Amino acid sequence: MEHLPGWKDLGAMTLLGLLGAGHCLGMCGPLVAAFPARLGGLPPHLWYHLGRVTTYTLVGALLGAVGGTLGGVARLQVLMGGVAAVVLLLFGLSRIGLVREPRLMLSASPAAIPGFDAVRRAAASRPLGMLPLGLVMGLLPCGLSYAAFARALAADGFVAGGLLVAAFGAGTLPVLLLAGTAGAAAYRRHRALSEVLSGVLMIGMAVELGADVVSALL
């Protein structure tokens, strides 16, 4: 039977999304201003973020399914946990500036996503069109979301992986929904601090997973 994540793990993932909001504003804030904000009102934003978080959740669920399936073999379970720990550690160190973030994350462009132009044109005139746009934008390479995906890889199955990444996506919502407001501006001013805090949290997750791997090997 699949072991679902507890409140501690879900809370940590939500906190990761919230603390990473400074990064989200820098990367996704301009996209929010360029697309849902142009239509005006709250509904375009809600549809856009529903699509984005849905994609995150599905990717997390698929990775959780992979990890859970391979985890049926003890050695592969250890391997999955080890891979997730290393990825989280690297992304955490990049957040606090001790290692360089992969070039792919620094040069990510929506135009590189297959089908982006067609979805963007379809979304230009109606709020509901922001849903497919958000679904596509959820595939945009992002170190923060990739760290969440890495954690899902160490989950116990499809549902567990989806819940973990859904919690992360929910954590990113408050600040992105406030993009362009005074609240978001304040978050931008403290972006460096939020980057460090999210990095520390990733490193903490990596240490916890690493400890589980070491315990399994001993």
pLDDT tens sequence across 163-209:
999 999 999 888 888 765 655 666 667 677 878 888 899 999 999 98
Which pLDDT value is given to residue 10?
95
| Phi, psi for 154 (deg, rounded to 5) | -90, 5
User: Is residue 42 one of the residues assigned to a domain?
Assistant: yes
Nearest to 144 by CA among 54, 18, 49, 11: 18
For the chain, helix, strand, coil in percent to 5 are 80, 0, 20
Which pLDDT value is given to residue 196?
86
Residue 51: is its pLDDT beyond 90? yes
Q: Give the mean model confidence (pLDDT) for residues 117-141.
A: 77
Which pLDDT value is given to residue 55?
95
* Calpha distance 22→42 (Å, rounded): 21
User: Is residue 24 one of the residues assigned to a domain?
Assistant: yes
Number of domains observed in the structure of the chain: 1
Which stretch, 47-51, 54-58, 120-124, 210-214, has highest mean pLDDT? Answer: 54-58
Residue 105: is its pLDDT beyond 60? no
User: Is residue 1 one of the residues assigned to a domain?
Assistant: no
Among 18-32, 55-69, 79-93, 178-192, which stretch is predicted with the lowest mean pLDDT?
Answer: 178-192
Residue 218: is its pLDDT beyond 80? no
pTM: 0.81
Which pLDDT value is given to residue 99?
83
| Phi, psi for 6 (deg, rounded to 5) | -85, 175
Among 38-42, 76-80, 85-89, 183-187, which stretch is predicted with the lowest mean pLDDT?
Answer: 183-187
Which pLDDT value is given to residue 56?
95
Instruction: Give me the domain span that covers residue 143.
Output: 7-217
Among 38-42, 49-53, 94-98, 131-135, which stretch is predicted with the lowest mean pLDDT?
Answer: 38-42
Alpha helices, DSSP H, located in the chain: 7-19, 21-34, 36-39, 43-70, 74-95, 103-106, 116-123, 130-137, 143-153, 158-177, 182-189, 191-217
User: Is residue 2 one of the residues assigned to a domain?
Assistant: no
**Which 8-state DSSP code applies to residue 74?**
H
pLDDT band, very low/low/confident/very high, at 58 (cuts 50, 70, 90): very high
User: Is residue 135 one of the residues assigned to a domain?
Assistant: yes
User: Is residue 20 one of the residues assigned to a domain?
Assistant: yes
User: Is residue 140 one of the residues assigned to a domain?
Assistant: yes
Which pLDDT value is given to residue 184?
60
- Which residues are CB-contacts of 133 (< 8 A; sequence separation ≥ 6)? 35, 48, 51, 119, 120, 122, 123
- Looking up tokens 């979805």 gives 119
User: Is residue 150 one of the residues assigned to a domain?
Assistant: yes
Which stretch, 67-81, 147-161, 182-196, has highest mean pLDDT? Answer: 147-161
| Phi, psi for 99 (deg, rounded to 5) | -135, 160
